[in-house]
């Protein structure tokens, strides 16, 4: 597998563009379109929040009904959530405008929104921007960059990733763009990710693969533990790489594509955490020796979700006690006498806790490990053979500032 | 029921004292003793954290074995956790010293510790302080105050509560002292609560009553969502009020005492949250209309545990969207079209969301509600008849400072 520069238009036959439709202040880019030359197989994972925004309801419905997807329209600045029937009507207006412009069926148009909730979407602005979006569609880097910027809210950098693999003698590309948890008053964190590939694959295989990789990537990251009404991960596969269609979930081709999809999703998830609100550090938890895979995931996620752990990393303190306590807080039963904890980074490695006992450590050495921007917490549970990774960021003054004083 | 001034020595036959044993810097009070004139029925609820400190293991064992409790020794400054066998040996030294001084069995002595973890407890200092503790034991306000201060870590004020009820023609008193989640480098939040009553009651009735009220009080509060290795709620009932022993969980006497115990526990829990690290506001969630009581609790707790909600209250923003999202994040299924949200305080009341739709509101009026120190979030789920309350505090710069920069 080769990582390469690129994003949502790296795979064959995908074009994108981003414009300012006037949804946000100061003429910021706020609306993006992503189009496939031919309708693509689609898979989607959306928020598990009981409160679902209208675009989420729409995407679940059309993709659940096996429609292939020709285009996606995404806006920032307004989440089109919690406004009752108005929300669904706004989605209908969007997909109608895009379908008319691209001469496709409205059910071939997916939609995503992020931003303020409870305020009616000024949908006419988006409808009016469709011709400019269509006119600008391109697979070149500049157009792709505009799309990746138009979906951002308080993210400080656009997030893209792309890899290439060989499948059946053909070069297959998987690329994507994402936005992380950003606040606009008064709303909540929303994570959006759009992944494209030119691989030929059945919808069923694509959905299974997406669900599995989302469970190991986006679902294993924590900026603040909250899940938004609008979270969406969408994958489109248009088959233009010319490989023989992947139809078997046990085939080598399936596993190759799955690894590529996992890698793109992990790259995007880490980019989101690294750019978490107010974050100064990326914390990776690499947990091994759990009894089962489910327990491994719960334990690893427990560490990066703990405010006490997150604040300790902000303070650059080698606080193995909070790591241990966060593991214990998950409700998973384990023997603390078997647990070991090590902190590692480009600054070195320091053992802190070994099989139930604190390890005396050199404070200066620990400081060198902890002052780095990316730190790995190695946890050995000593219970079994299952493992999991999770990603989180530190809890900082700026997190409180962004989320508490966004009005001022 | 009458609320009255007082604490852990308000009920008949309880004495306490607090001294400085030299476990903390600057001669702070750090060790407390609580003694009943006669051995008392005991009930205990301890941490569900898989990592349990030695004192927690001891208390669970002796009370689980139906020993009555004569004395409790509590220290701050060191949690006696995560040091392997040394921890159990330290507990043994403590209970032996106390039992010798009070001429009782070692199994009649309960133990609690809070403070730094992973550092061996300097137990000799506690053993050496036992004579001074015993000499000072008294039921007067000054001795009780010293005990309530000796158990604190970063709490800014001692927490005590007391109420009186009539049971079988006798005045029964329930009182208590508690400490909240406070950090000492490098440790974690620990909640300790010691409740005493002169009521006569069987151990079985007392344990059931405690478990039920803990589920509705301490377990419904959130300062930062983490559960420590040392959390302990202990209740002692010495029977000196002279009432006929409560033996029946359906009796009127049982219900009267339960209400008194609930009230003391709620008062202590609210005091802990109000004094949460860096907290400037107490947030009470009063949730009604849930389908089941379990769901009501999960939903109510979900709101006060959300960092986004907590940060919004710090920012004094009428952010119903984050409340709604935090409800949805719990995994409980509900229809957002039935949900209503109102914020209320001494500054007034403002409806924000009604049956699925945002309610236009007066920003100035909302500001008056939100600038108060205690705010109630009224949530109507519209699903059923179950209700629950929860308590939390806002997320502030000072929380991050205390937990991230405690070393500097």
Specify the number of domains making up chain A.
Answer: 2
- B67-79 residue pLDDT tens: 999 999 999 999 9
Question: In this complex, is the C-beta atom of A51 within 8 Å of any C-beta atom belonging to chain B?
Answer: yes
Residue indicated by tokens 């890899």:
A163
Average pLDDT, chain A: 91
Output the CA–CA distances (angstroms, integers) from residue A406 to A179, A399, B159, B371, in the order listed. Answer: 19, 10, 34, 16
Using CB atoms, which residue from A118, A187, A321 is nearest to B117?
A321
- Mean predicted confidence (pLDDT) in A51-70: 95
Residues B111 and B242 in one domain: yes
Banded pLDDT at A407 (limits 50, 70, 90): very low
Residues A134 and A203 in one domain: yes
Q: Which helix (H) or strand (E) holds B110?
A: strand B109-116
Output the CA–CA distances (angstroms, integers) from residue B137 to B87, B144, B169, in the order listed. Answer: 27, 9, 30
Question: In this complex, is the C-beta atom of A222 within 8 Å of any C-beta atom belonging to chain B?
Answer: no
Q: Is the peptide bond before A338 cis (omega within 30 degrees of 0)?
A: no
Q: Which range, of A44-58, A221-235, A305-319, A324-338, averages the lowest pLDDT?
A: A221-235
Q: For residue B287, give the 3-state DSSP assignment.
A: strand
Catalytic residue among B83, B153, B190, B376: B190
Q: Do B404 and A318 touch (CB under 8 A)?
A: no
pTM over 0.90: no
For the record, the structure tokens of B96 come out as: 């032996």
- A349-370 residue pLDDT tens: 999 999 988 999 999 999 999 9
CB contacts, 8 Å: B314 with chain A: 400, 404-405
Distance, CA of B384 to chain centre: 29
Indicate if A190 belongs to the active site: yes
- At residue A117, does pLDDT exceed 70? yes
Q: Do A308 and B403 touch (CB under 8 A)?
A: yes
Residues B212 and B360 in one domain: no
Kindly give the pairing relationship between strand A170-179 and strand A192-197.
Answer: antiparallel
- B33-90 residue pLDDT tens: 999 999 999 999 998 888 889 999 999 999 999 999 999 999 999 999 888 889 999 9
Q: Do B357 and A84 touch (CB under 8 A)?
A: yes
Banded pLDDT at B177 (limits 50, 70, 90): very high
For the question of an ipTM over 0.85, the answer is no
Q: Phi, psi at residue B179, to the nearest 5°? A: -130, 150
Average pLDDT, chain B: 91
Residues A231 and A326 in one domain: no
At residue A274, the pLDDT reads: 87
At residue A223, the pLDDT reads: 63
Question: In this complex, is the C-beta atom of B120 within 8 Å of any C-beta atom belonging to chain A?
Answer: no
At residue B294, the pLDDT reads: 93
Catalytic residue among A31, A83, A173, A190: A190
Domain edge (last residue) among A258, A274, A290: A274
Banded pLDDT at B186 (limits 50, 70, 90): very low
- At residue A3, does pLDDT exceed 90? yes
The better pLDDT of the pair B244, A26 is held by: B244
Q: Residue A202's CB: how many other CB atoms inside 10 A?
A: 16
Question: In this complex, is the C-beta atom of B134 within 8 Å of any C-beta atom belonging to chain A?
Answer: no
Question: In this complex, is the C-beta atom of B319 within 8 Å of any C-beta atom belonging to chain A?
Answer: yes
Banded pLDDT at B188 (limits 50, 70, 90): very low
CATH code for the domain in which residue B324 is found: 3.10.20.340
CB contacts, 8 Å: B407 with chain A: 315, 317
Domain edge (last residue) among B232, B247, B274: B274
At residue B408, the pLDDT reads: 35
> What does the DSSP 8-state code read for residue B246?
B
Q: Percent of chain B having pLDDT more than 90? A: 73
Question: How would you classify residue B406: left for phi > 0, otherwise alpha for psi between -120 and 50, otherwise beta?
Answer: alpha
- B109-140 residue pLDDT tens: 999 999 888 889 999 999 999 999 999 999 99
227-286 in chain A: CB under 8 A from chain B: 227-229
Q: Which of B370, B317, B298, B402 is nearest to A183 (CA)?
A: B317
- Mean predicted confidence (pLDDT) in B169-186: 79
Using CB atoms, which residue from A228, A308, A334 is nearest to B325?
A228
Residues A252 and A350 in one domain: no
End-to-end Cα separation, chain B, in angstroms: 47
Residues B328 and B252 in one domain: no
Residues A210 and A287 in one domain: no
Residues A153 and A244 in one domain: yes
Residues A266 and A315 in one domain: no
Q: Do B357 and A395 touch (CB under 8 A)?
A: no
The better pLDDT of the pair B404, A215 is held by: A215
Question: In this complex, is the C-beta atom of A224 within 8 Å of any C-beta atom belonging to chain B?
Answer: yes
- At residue B27, does pLDDT exceed 90? no
CA distance linking residue A203 with residue A328, whole number of Å = 40
Give the domain range for residue B321. Answer: 282-404
Residues B269 and B124 in one domain: yes
- Mean predicted confidence (pLDDT) in A51-78: 95
- A184-213 residue pLDDT tens: 333 446 889 999 999 999 999 999 999 999
Q: Do A406 and B315 touch (CB under 8 A)?
A: yes
Domain edge (last residue) among B212, B239, B274: B274
CB contacts, 8 Å: B50 with chain A: 327-328, 330-334, 336
- B329-388 residue pLDDT tens: 888 999 999 999 999 999 999 999 999 889 999 999 999 999 999 999 999 999 999 999
Residues A269 and A342 in one domain: no
CATH code for the domain in which residue A239 is found: 3.60.70.12
Q: Percent of chain B having pLDDT more than 70? A: 95
SS (HEC) of chain A? CEECCCCCCCCCCEEEEEECCCCCHHHCCCEEEEEEEEEEEEEEEECCCCCCCHHHHHHHHHHHCCCCEEEEEEEEEECCCCCCHHHHHHHHHHHHHHHHHHCCCHHHEEEEEEEECCCCCCHHHHHHHHHHHHHHCECCHHHHHHHHHHCCCCCCCCEEEEEEEEECCEEEEEEEEEECCCCCCCCCCCCEEEEEECCCECHHHHHHHHHHHHHHCHHHEECCCCCCCCCEEEEEECCCCCCCCECCCCCHHHHHHHHHHHHHHHHHHHHHHHCCCCCCCEEEEEEEEECCHHHHHHHHHHHHHCHHHHHHHHCCCCCHHHHHHHHHHCCCCCCHHHCEEEEEECCEEEEEEECCEECCCCHHHHHHHHCCCEEEEEEECCCCCEEEEEEEECCCHHHHHHHHCCCC
Kindly give the pairing relationship between strand A69-78 and strand A348-354.
Answer: unpaired
Residues A224 and A344 in one domain: no
Kindly give the pairing relationship between strand A31-46 and strand B232-237.
Answer: unpaired
Q: For residue B288, give the 3-state DSSP assignment.
A: strand
Using CB atoms, which residue from A187, A337, A406 is nearest to B321?
A187
CA distance linking residue B240 with residue B252, whole number of Å = 20
Q: Do A321 and B189 touch (CB under 8 A)?
A: no
> Which chain A residue's Cα is nearest to B310?
A404
User: Nearest C-alpha of chain B: how many angstroms from A35?
Assistant: 31
Contact criterion met (CB below 8 Å) for B231 and B81: no
- At residue A175, does pLDDT exceed 90? yes
Per DSSP, the residues of B293-341 read HHHHHHHHHHHHH-HHHHHHHHTT---HHHHHHHHHTTS----GGG-EE
């Amino acid at each position: 597998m080769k990582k390469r520069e690129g994003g949502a238009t790296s795979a064959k036959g995908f074009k994108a563009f981003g414009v300012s439709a006037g949804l946000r202040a100061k003429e910021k880019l706020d609306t993006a379109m992503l189009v496939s030359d031919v309708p693509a197989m689609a898979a989607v994972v959306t928020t598990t929040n009981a409160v679902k925004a209208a675009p989420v309801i729409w995407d679940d419905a059309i993709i659940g009904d096996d429609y292939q997807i020709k285009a996606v329209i995404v806006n920032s600045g307004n989440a089109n959530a919690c406004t009752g029937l108005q929300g669904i009507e706004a989605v209908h207006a969007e997909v109608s405008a895009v379908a008319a412009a691209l001469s496709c069926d409205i059910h071939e148009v997916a939609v995503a929104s992020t931003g303020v909730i409870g305020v009616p979407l000024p949908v006419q602005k988006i409808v009016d921007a469709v011709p400019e979006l269509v006119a600008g569609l391109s697979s070149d880097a500049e157009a792709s960059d505009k799309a990746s910027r138009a979906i951002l809210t308080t993210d400080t950098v656009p997030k893209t990733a792309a890899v290439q693999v060989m499948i059946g003698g053909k070069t297959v590309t998987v690329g994507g763009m994402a936005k992380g948890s950003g606040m606009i008053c008064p709303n909540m964190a929303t994570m959006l990710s759009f992944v494209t590939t030119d691989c030929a694959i059945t919808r069923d295989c694509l959905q299974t693969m997406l669900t599995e990789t989302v469970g190991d990537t986006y679902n294993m990251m924590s900026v603040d533990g909250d899940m938004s009404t609008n979270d969406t991960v969408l994958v489109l596969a248009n088959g233009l790489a010319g490989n023989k269609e992947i139809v078997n979930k046990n085939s080598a081709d399936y596993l190759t594509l799955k690894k590529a999809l996992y890698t793109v999703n992990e790259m995007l998830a880490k980019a989101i955490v690294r750019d978490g609100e107010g974050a100064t550090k990326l914390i990776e938890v690499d947990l091994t020796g759990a009894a089962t895979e489910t327990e491994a995931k719960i334990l690893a996620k427990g560490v990066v979700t703990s405010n006490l752990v997150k604040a300790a990393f902000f303070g650059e303190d080698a606080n193995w006690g909070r790591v241990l306590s966060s593991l214990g807080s998950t409700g998973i039963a384990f023997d603390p006498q078997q647990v070991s904890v090590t902190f590692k980074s480009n600054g070195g490695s320091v053992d802190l806790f070994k099989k139930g006992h604190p390890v005396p450590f050199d404070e200066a050495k620990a400081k060198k490990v902890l002052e780095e921007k990316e730190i790995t917490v190695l946890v050995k549970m000593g219970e079994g053979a299952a493992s999991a990774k999770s990603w989180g960021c530190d809890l900082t003054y700026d997190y409180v500032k962004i989320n508490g004083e966004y009005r001022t």
